[in-house]
Structure 1
Amino acid sequence: MPHSKQPADADRTPPPPMKVGSRTRGRPSPQEAQQLTELILSIARRLFIEKGFEETSIDEICAIGKMSKKTFYARFGEKQDLFRAVVGVLVNEIILDARSKVGRRPDENLHDYLTRVALDLLSYAIRADVVALDRLMIAATPKFPGLIKTYEGARRSAADLIVPFIAEAQARGEIREADPHKVAEHFLGFTVMERMRTANFGVEPNHVTDEDVATTAERVDVFLNGYLRRTPI
């Protein structure tokens, strides 16, 4: 089945930090406070991707944003808290965009549906900015074990997208009964995460290829072979 390739991920790099504008002295308004938080996250996301976790400093973030450390620490306790927030924003952006694409069409059989969803989610998972932050999480986790919760949370959020449709397929009798959350995690692990790992290694492009389309369809076949409802002999 044809599948459009994703554009180069250079276009996905976050835009330059937004300007907060002039503020009066004293406590900022709720709108200004939100703008400051968004400014910090925008700067941090760009620096994390460009320089890595260790080389990104709070001093540099404050200097670029023209703000005091007091302003920063009023929002984020330490750098790993900031990193978790940056990843959380990225995951929320992806989930919000992907949610409209994961529904099953009335005329779509289960194999075609799962193949389409896997390719859609793969297109997000191998984006250059997503891969860059994933690499940073893996590299920084030994020093900051708390980041593993961020990593696991991102994977759960992706799986949660398709849980209702897995449960629906079970209700129809198309696949056997099992914890739909586990089924969704197995599905993504088999169809998406393996390809994401090769993107992390830099040996595969950051867009969906014709080979990805064929390989994903084959992997869905294998997945369904394990989960199809079978009549007892």
Structure 2
Amino acid sequence: MATTKTPRPKTLREGSAQKRAAILSAARELFLTGGFDRSSVDAVAALAEVSKRTVYDYFGDKQTLLRAVVDSIGQSLITTIRHTLDDTLAEVAEAADLEDALVAFAMRIATGMLDSGEYATLQRLVRSESRHLPDGGELFMADTPDEALAERLAAFADVGLLSVPDARLAADQFTALTFSVALNRLGSANAAEDPRVRPLVVEGVRTFLRAYRPA
């Protein structure tokens, strides 16, 4: 009796970093301007100046390519967040310095990242193409400032600067009290364009610290 073999999943090529970047850039442009459904793999290949076979070899199919585009933007934003954390919070050693450092971090993220073209692109792709993404795109939006911030808040708790039973919850609440308040109330978190942003962020940080400073 013949045995039916289960087909092996296709192995994608790692390939040239330059070609991968060109394909991702072309796909991003086409998905934004024409939408996922109207953007063909042929068009992506032509714009990236590679063969259609190369696109398939590197990414497998168009849906995987969309996921790769969204993921690459998300990873770029996470890198920005981590650099900002290092610049603003890495050297904090005294409780008296914590408020100013957290305000500096929140202002940098609010103005430099949440109001950036990269973040707007990520939001737009996730909203418009959610049906083509796992979990409607929520998977990719999970890597917001909260994930990286939670690690730093836990580190502050380890040295006694904060009392943080649940670091991820604390990060979620920090975000809600700072970035989200500005976005929900003003429609923007860019303090360079709206002087009302900073007072909201400062008060949010103070409210957060009242809740999480050690007793």
Q: State the TM-score, normalizing by the size of structure 2.
A: 0.74
1:218-233 alignment, distance < 5 Å: 218-230=203-215
Could you list the structure 1 runs, at least 4 aligned residues long, displaced by more than 6 angstroms after superposition. Answer: none
Aligned position for 2:162:
175
Given candidates 132, 136, 139, the residue that maps to 1:149 is 139
Identity %: 25
Structure 1 residues 151 and 197 mapped into 2: Cα distance closer, same or farther (>3 Å)? farther
Contact 2:191 2:198 in 1 (8 A): no
RMSD: 3.0
Structure 1 residues 166 and 144 mapped into 2: Cα distance closer, same or farther (>3 Å)? closer
Structure 1 residues 69 and 124 mapped into 2: Cα distance closer, same or farther (>3 Å)? same
Q: In the TM superposition, what whole-angstrom CA distance separates every residue of 1:90-142 from its partner, at most 9, and x where no partner exists?
A: 23333334433313234762111111111112221221331132122023224
Opposite residue 109 of structure 2, the aligned amino acid is L
Opposite residue 178 of structure 1, the aligned amino acid is P
Opposite residue 196 of structure 2, the aligned amino acid is E
Unaligned runs of 5+ in 2: 1-13
Structure 1 residues 162 and 143 mapped into 2: Cα distance closer, same or farther (>3 Å)? closer
Aligned position for 1:159:
146
Unaligned runs of 5+ in 1: 1-29
Shift of residue 206, structure 1, vs aligned partner: 5.9
Q: In the TM superposition, what whole-angstrom CA distance separates every residue of 1:53-76 from its partner, at most 9, and x where no partner exists?
A: 444332321121233321111111
Aligned position for 2:59:
76
1:99-178 alignment, distance < 5 Å: 99-103=82-86, 104=89, 105-106=91-92, 109-122=97-110, 123-142=112-131, 144-146=133-135, 147-152=137-142, 154-155=143-144, 158-178=145-165
How far apart, CA to CA, are the structure 2 residues paired with 1:76 and 1:195? Answer: 38
How far apart, CA to CA, are the structure 2 residues paired with 1:180 and 1:96? Answer: 20
Which has a greater percent of helix?
A: 2
Q: In the TM superposition, what whole-angstrom CA distance separates every residue of 1:176-202 from its partner, at most 9, and x where no partner exists?
A: 231222222322243224545679xxx
1:26-41 alignment, distance < 5 Å: 33-41=16-24
How far apart, CA to CA, are the structure 2 residues paired with 1:81 and 1:40? Answer: 12
Number of matched pairs: 195
Q: State the TM-score, normalizing by the size of structure 1.
A: 0.69
